[in-house]
Amino acid sequence: MTEEQFVIQMKGAAIKQLLRDELHPYAHLRDSKGRLPKCFVQGHWADYLAPEDLDRTIKYVQENPIKLGLKAQRWPFVTRRE
């Protein structure tokens, strides 16, 4: 599977979940055929980090909510693996 195919599948799954949870931001804007406006931008953006950027980026991800006055958040997937 290509990166682009993966992103398309993830967006589709996210839209389905938003609809199931009644959280789709444009659910009230269906057209006459029942179609919804897009809630994601077209395409995707992929940015790859060099190994020397990992520690700085992890620190940013962990500290940014605190800088915004939110509670600290920790995610099991934000970690450095050798």
Q: Is the pTM of this model over 0.85?
A: no
pLDDT band at 68 (very low <50, low <70, confident <90, very high): very high
20, 45 Cβ separation under 8 angstroms: no
> What's the half-sphere exposure (Cβ side, CA atoms, 13 Å) at 6?
5
CA–CA dist 24, 27 (Å, integer): 5
15 pLDDT exceeds 90? yes
81 pLDDT exceeds 80? no
43 pLDDT exceeds 70? yes
